Amino acid sequence: MLRRRLAPEPFAASATGARSCALFGGVLAVFAVLMGRSGGVDPRGTLAVLGFALLFALAGVALAVWSAGVVWRTGRRGTGRALSALVIAAAVLAYPAYLAERTATRSTVADASTDPAAPPAFSSAPAAVAARGGAAHDDPPPDAREAERRAYPNLGPVMLDVSVDEAFDIALKAVQGRGWRVIEAAPPQGKFGAGHIDAVAPTRVLALPDDVAIRIRPASGQARVDIRSASRFFRADSGENAARIQSLSDEIGDAAS
């Protein structure tokens, strides 16, 4: 006697859609990283692609949650697809969520300096401004300077027991060794002149351009190096500017000693 085989329950459409959205978000996120790190794409395009990646990942989460109710009510299949959507979406959203959490819970500013009272100025030469994509980075207002002092109390100038010319060479080599793009380098002029370096530094993941200004001047028989790092596309960051300054300060100090 032949038994009739029951057709398996179909997959919940919401579970399938959840997995598709999450996968597409993951592909877009990888593409955004590749775009940013290629260096040949407008950073705004990279941010736009990343924004769409996050939207699709969030849509995947919403559909996965909705599909749980559909599977429970109708008995349709799709639990595995919903769970895979959640895993993929979590991978896409993890780092942005981490940055958002740090930005929301810490007093961060988008312009950090070893000298908040008189931060190194970015070059206003037309070629330098063009290389920064038009970003001027005016001096922060008093309230922003106070916020910076509270946020980064350990940032301070690098004092070197070398001449200002040697300090300039050390700082320039450190910047070049990191692969940053130097857009202006003016060595110290005369006994009391200050040297200046303007550079573009990439962020850690997307390699978006941030701007760095370094000032080297004499100070009581030593050379004083002040560093400023400013985000180009965000009004707040997760501490990356301060971390960049501290890392470069340590490298310059170690090289001089």
Beta bridge partner(s), residue 201? 210
Clarify whether residues 132 and 235 are in a common domain.
yes
Give the tens place of pLDDT for each residue, 48-103: 999 999 999 999 999 999 999 988 888 888 899 999 999 999 999 998 888 777 76
Distance, CA of 46 to CA of 66 (rounded, Å): 30
Average pLDDT over residues 24-32: 95
Residue 97 lies in a domain: yes
Residue 196 lies in a domain: yes
Identify the CATH number of the domain in which residue 160 sits: 3.30.310.80
Residue 8 lies in a domain: no
Distance, CA of 52 to CA of 35 (rounded, Å): 14
Residue 32 lies in a domain: yes
The boundaries of the domain holding residue 37 are 13-105
Give the tens place of pLDDT for each residue, 228-257: 999 888 776 678 888 999 999 999 999 988
Helix and strand numbers (H, E) in the chain are: 7, 6
- Of 62, 78, 105, the residue at which a domain comes to its end is 105
Clarify whether residues 65 and 165 are in a common domain.
no
Clarify whether residues 145 and 247 are in a common domain.
yes
Distance, CA of 199 to CA of 176 (rounded, Å): 9
Clarify whether residues 87 and 191 are in a common domain.
no
Handedness of CA 98, 101, 105, 109 (dihedral sign): positive
Clarify whether residues 143 and 238 are in a common domain.
yes
Clarify whether residues 164 and 118 are in a common domain.
yes
Total domain count, the chain: 2
Residue 7 lies in a domain: no
6 pLDDT above the threshold of 60? no
Residue 122 lies in a domain: yes
Clarify whether residues 243 and 189 are in a common domain.
yes
Clarify whether residues 124 and 155 are in a common domain.
yes
Residue 169 near residue 196 (C-beta atoms within 8 A): no
Helices within 126-239 (DSSP H only): 126-131, 142-151, 164-177
Residue carrying the six token digits 């794409």: 41
Clarify whether residues 183 and 95 are in a common domain.
no
DSSP single-letter state for residue 11: B
> The tokens of 3 are what?
């038994």
Distance, CA of 141 to CA of 131 (rounded, Å): 24
Residue 2 lies in a domain: no
Give the tens place of pLDDT for each residue, 31-44: 999 998 887 788 88
Provide the whole-model pTM. Answer: 0.81
- Of 105, 133, 153, the residue at which a domain comes to its end is 105
- Of 70, 105, 140, the residue at which a domain comes to its end is 105
